[in-house]
């Protein structure tokens, strides 16, 4: 006995192409008169497609979690390398020795990365020192000292002091 099921509304299973641009499947169960077995097979096909998509999404989620773990590990290694570079540079070690200290302490980093981290820390320390020097110059200028007296006190050229004062007043 062949029983028929009248399906009055279509059932459509689609996957959003914006979220999953690589794979796009569309299964449409038409509102036709289907035997129970054909309708069940169509539903089985839709369920199988959803299961494939779910497996793919689980793999993507696991890959994203792995990337996050790797990124956190790399960030921790870079932070440790920055601390080593800052400590070496603050102690007055030359750039080459500071870079070597970073390379030997963090073997997991490529030498180019160790040098780059040391350069970044050296630039940051230079900016801080320059800012402190400029603040000192402006404080001495506010006390009424001349450019020549400030230059002599800070062991700088008088024109350098005049240039810094000019720039700081424009800001």
**Cβ atoms of residues 46 and 27 within 8 Å:** yes
Question: Please, which pLDDT band fits residue 2 given cuts at 50, 70 and 90?
Answer: very low
| Nearest CA among 98, 58, 94 for reference residue 81 | 98
DSSP letter at 103 equals H
Per-residue pLDDT tens over the stretch 65-117 = 999 999 999 899 899 999 999 999 999 999 989 998 898 887 778 889 889 99
**pLDDT > 70 fraction of the chain, expressed in percent and rounded:** 79
Per-residue pLDDT at 106: 78
> Using CA of residue 43, residue 49, residue 52, residue 58, what is the dihedral sign?
negative
Is pTM beyond 0.85 here? Answer: no
Q: What is the DSSP letter of 27?
A: E
**Domain regions of the chain by residue span:** 126-171
Whole-angstrom Cα distance, residue 89 to residue 95? 7
């Amino acid at each position: 006995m062949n029983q028929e099921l009248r399906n009055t509304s279509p059932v459509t299973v689609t996957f959003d192409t914006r979220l999953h641009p690589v794979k796009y499947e569309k299964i449409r169960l038409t509102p036709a008169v289907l035997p129970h077995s054909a309708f069940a097979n169509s539903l089985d096909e839709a369920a199988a497609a959803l299961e494939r998509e779910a497996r793919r999404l689980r793999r993507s989620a696991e890959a994203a979690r792995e990337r996050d773990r790797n990124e956190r590990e790399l960030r921790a290694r870079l932070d440790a390398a920055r601390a080593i570079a800052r400590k070496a540079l603050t102690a007055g070690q030359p750039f080459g020795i500071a870079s070597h200290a970073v390379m030997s302490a963090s073997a997991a980093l490529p030498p180019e990365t160790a040098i780059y981290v040391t350069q970044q820390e050296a630039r940051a320390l230079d900016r801080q020192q320059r800012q402190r020097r400029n603040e000192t110059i402006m404080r001495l200028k506010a006390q009424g000292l001349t450019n020549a007296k400030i230059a002599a006190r800070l062991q700088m050229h008088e024109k350098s002091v005049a240039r810094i004062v000019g720039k700081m007043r424009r800001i």
